[in-house]
Amino acid sequence: MSELLSVVFLGNDLRQWALALAIGAGTMTLLLVTIRLLLPRLARLASRTRTDWDDLVVAALRNTKWFFPAAVGIGAGAVSLNLPPRIDRVVVLAAVLATLVQAGVWTTTALRAGLDRYQRIRLETDRGAATTVAAMGFAAHVLIWSVVLLLSLDNLGIDVTALIAGLGIGGVAVALALQKILGDLFASLAIVLDRPFVLGDFLALDGYLGSVEHIGLKTTRLRSLSGEQLVFSNADLLGSRIRNYGRMRERRVAFTIGVTYQTPRAKLAEIPQVLRAAVTARGQTRFDRAHFAGFGDSALNFETVYYVQSPDYNVYMDIQQAINLDLVEQFEAREIEFAYPTQTLYLARAGAGAERQPSAV
């Protein structure tokens, strides 16, 4: 037995390898047990506090990958061994790379949890927060993993400075080849920063109507009134004339009615007041004006302008319907006739002194 334990492998006998294995396994087990036992308690404590950072720490620790305790255990066990420089370098490098990757996972998990929490809070008062959070999250993820990649390459002995310079030159060529895609990407950033529209806004552009359903890095998707999905590239979308009904605070309404030419002047003078009363009797309206606007081909035209103090189209239609019914009732009571397209022909009899008799058609 003593002869077996004295067998040397890579400069260490089996006793040293057994000790290293025990240290590594103990370290890995201790980490796993500590995380499993502490997480429920930390979660309970975090739920009782008003701060957010402890919730983010708990969310990050829950996403601990299996390779991190294994790498730490291997590194701890390797400390007790006298390994050749090359193997020792590989063990240390593996532990460092595992730690860097786990740090990236922890950071991105905490970031995602924080952005989700921010989005839930702000979405009730600011619908643009969803778009902003999505863009911020993507940019932050790219930055974090870029740092992890550069640190990993640096530990592997790769000249990061030369690599960054090479990527800069190659990036110019890639940018020229991907102008359209990069144009859409920068357009998405413009949408996030300038916020010409946000999720839920109802847009009209180039003859298409729909509510904003998704704002991505390359495309924006709308849900049309008939149910299908409309997809626009972000660059084309910003190059269009957009009518954003989601930003409407009140709706301006102008409508015209016509009465017959046979209406007496006294009754014509009453019509603007009837129009005003019909509008002001409704709720959520602001009267602007009502005037005898002009002489039409077959009617005396009155124009009315008012504002509906709600962007809801259904509210506007309900109010306009009530106004129309009120006008019909008031005109019937005053014996004022609405005009409709008519023509009057004058017929002359043959002979001197013939009279012309009108005939309506």
Owner of token pair 């927060």: 129
What's the rounded Cα separation, in Å, for the pair 204 and 241?
Answer: 8
Q: How many degrees, rounded to 5, is the angle at CA 57 between CA 52 and CA 60?
A: 125
Q: Which two tokens stand for residue 142?
A: 């790219």
In CATH, the number for domain 251-333 is: 3.30.70.100
Which residue from 297, 299, 293, 295 is spatially nearest to 272, judged by alpha carbons?
293
Q: Which two tokens stand for residue 78?
A: 């390797």
Alpha carbon separation from 342 to 256, 258, 261, 297, 329 (Å, rounded): 18, 12, 11, 9, 23
Q: Which two tokens stand for residue 53?
A: 């950072």
Residue 44 phi, psi (nearest 5): -65, -40
Q: What is the β-pairing status of strands 229-233 and 243-244?
A: unpaired
Q: What is the β-pairing status of strands 285-295 and 251-259?
A: unpaired
What's the rounded Cα separation, in Å, for the pair 344 and 360?
Answer: 4
Residue 214 pairs in a beta bridge with 221
CATH pick for 180-247 out of 1.10.8.60, 2.30.30.60, 3.40.1280.10, 1.10.287.40: 2.30.30.60
- The one-digit pLDDT tens for each residue of the chain (361 residues) are 455 555 566 666 677 778 888 888 888 888 888 888 888 888 888 778 777 777 788 888 888 888 888 888 888 887 777 777 788 788 888 888 888 898 888 888 888 888 777 767 666 555 555 556 666 777 788 888 888 888 888 877 777 676 666 666 555 555 555 556 667 777 777 787 778 888 888 898 888 899 998 888 788 899 998 889 999 888 888 888 888 888 888 899 999 999 999 999 999 999 999 999 999 999 899 999 999 999 998 899 999 999 999 888 899 999 999 999 999 999 999 999 999 887 777 777 765 554 545 445 5
Q: At what angle do helices 265-280 and 313-333 cross, to 10 degrees?
A: 150
**Letter for the amino acid at 88?**
D
The model's pTM: 0.51
Which residue from 72, 144, 66, 75 is spatially nearest to 103, judged by alpha carbons?
144
Owner of token pair 């924006």: 220
- C-beta of residue 346 within 8 angstroms of C-beta of residue 305: no
What's the rounded Cα separation, in Å, for the pair 128 and 4?
Answer: 70
DSSP of 65-126, one letter per residue? Answer: -THHHHHHHHHHHHHTS---HHHHHHHHHHHHHHHHHHHHHHHHHHHHHHHHHHHHHHTTT-
* Residue ranges of the chain assigned to CATH 3.30.70.100: 251-333
Q: Which two tokens stand for residue 332?
A: 């019937």
Q: What is the pLDDT at residue 268?
A: 95
The continuous run of DSSP H or E covering 311 comes out as none
Owner of token pair 């849900």: 223
DSSP of 237-285, one letter per residue? Answer: HHTS--EEGGG-SSEEEEEEEEE-TTS-HHHHHHHHHHHHHHHHTSTTE
* Residue ranges of the chain assigned to CATH 2.30.30.60: 180-247
Cα 360 from chain centroid? 61
Q: What is the pLDDT at residue 354?
A: 47
- C-beta of residue 337 within 8 angstroms of C-beta of residue 297: no
| 3-state SS assignment for residue 204 | strand
